[in-house]
Amino acid sequence: MVRRRFLLGWVAAICIAWCGTDEGRIWKAYLEWYRRQPIAVSDLRQSYLDHLKRSGLGEAEARERSVIVERLSRERRDELHPLFFDRTYSSAAPRFHTGPNALLVESVRELKPGRALDIHMGQGRNAVFLASQGWDVTGFDFSAEGVRAAREAAARAGVTVTALVRRHEDFEFGRAQWNLVVMCYTWVPLRNPYIERILESLKPGGLVVFEHLMDQSGSERAAPWLPRPNELLRVFSPLRILRYEDLRAEADWSWRPERIARLVAEK
């Protein structure tokens, strides 16, 4: 009896290991395919099915694999997010405003340059602008393509920017480090520990410049990085709020006018 249980245990363990490896292989192949898809491809499910069939899989097998990939995509969103932005930044036709953010340009016009942090810097449009104005700029983003583009843009502009591939959660913000923190369309959840770490990292007298699309759904389950009405006033209340706007306007990261929130606040 004990021997039978032992054997069954082994068979189960081998099955789990085999399935795990197989799923690992399927997922790896999917990520390879996914990161090469132009951002304009919207029906990824159908495109992937077509790709699998072109690669020689039969209809049933391709569908079975696509179901596995859909489940893994839900379970492993964290792995897909940076690749989604890689697809965005390697696109020949960017779907966002590639010049510096207007609120940032206006906010730093009268400031003496110091140390600036560009959170989720993307392809570096704001970091390169600040560096060209004499700021000592550090930026980070989890999209390797974005950071690569930012480094190239800095080199083309003849300026120095410290551009790092980092997940937000792994970045060392430090304490009282920055004279300016840029939060433009960052997707940073508007809650602690995210906000706490950012505020701690500002020098006394330092500024936060924030702009983002707002939540339109009103749902409790809305993305935590989309400000609700007046939410920024609460989130940044430890700072002195110099400017706050909630308006419909051209948004840097949309191709139609959107509801956006803007804030400038000082520590």
Ligand X SMILES: C[S@@+](CC[C@H](N)C(=O)[O-])C[C@H]1O[C@@H](n2cnc3c(N)ncnc32)[C@H](O)[C@@H]1O
User: Among 100, 146, 206, 227, which residue sits at the site for ligand X (rule: CB under 6 A)?
Assistant: 146
Number of residues that bind ligand X (CB under 6 A): 18
Amino acid at position 229, single letter: P
Residue 227, interface with ligand X (CB under 6 A)? no
Nearest distance in Å: CB 105, ligand X: 13
Which of these ranges, 39-47, 59-67, 69-77, 142-150, lies near ligand X under the rule CB under 6 A? 142-150
Instruction: Quickly tell me which residue has 């099955």 as its tokens.
Output: 15
Which of these ranges, 24-32, 106-114, 141-149, 216-224, lies near ligand X under the rule CB under 6 A? 141-149
Dihedral sign for Cα 127, 102, 41, 187, please. positive
The long-range contacts involving 241-248, CB below 8 angstroms and separated by at least 24 positions, are 241/265, 242/207, 242/266, 243/107, 246/214
Sheet holding 240-249, edge to edge: 161-165, 136-141, 115-119, 178-184, 202-213, 258-266, 240-249
Residue 141 to residues 31, 93, 165, 179, 255, Cα–Cα distance (Å): 19, 20, 5, 20, 23
64 or 200: CB nearest ligand X: 200
Residue 120, interface with ligand X (CB under 6 A)? yes
User: Among 27, 34, 129, 142, which residue sits at the site for ligand X (rule: CB under 6 A)?
Assistant: 142
H/E run at residue 161: strand 161-165
Q: What residues between 36 and 95 interact with ligand X by CB under 6 A?
A: 82, 85
> Which residue's CB atom is positioned nearest to ligand X?
122
Dihedral sign for Cα 75, 76, 81, 86, please. negative
Residue 122, interface with ligand X (CB under 6 A)? yes
Instruction: Quickly tell me which residue has 């990161």 as its tokens.
Output: 35
Nearest distance in Å: CB 148, ligand X: 12
Nearest distance in Å: CB 265, ligand X: 18
Q: What residues between 161 and 220 interact with ligand X by CB under 6 A?
A: 167-168, 184-187
66 or 101: CB nearest ligand X: 101
125 or 262: CB nearest ligand X: 125
Task: Tell me the helix, strand and coil percentages in the chain, rounded to 5.
Answer: 45, 20, 35
Nearest distance in Å: CB 88, ligand X: 7
174 three-state secondary structure: coil
Nearest distance in Å: CB 143, ligand X: 4
User: Among 87, 125, 262, 267, which residue sits at the site for ligand X (rule: CB under 6 A)?
Assistant: 125
- Residues near ligand X (CB under 6 A): 82, 85, 120-122, 125, 141-143, 146, 167-168, 184-187, 252-253
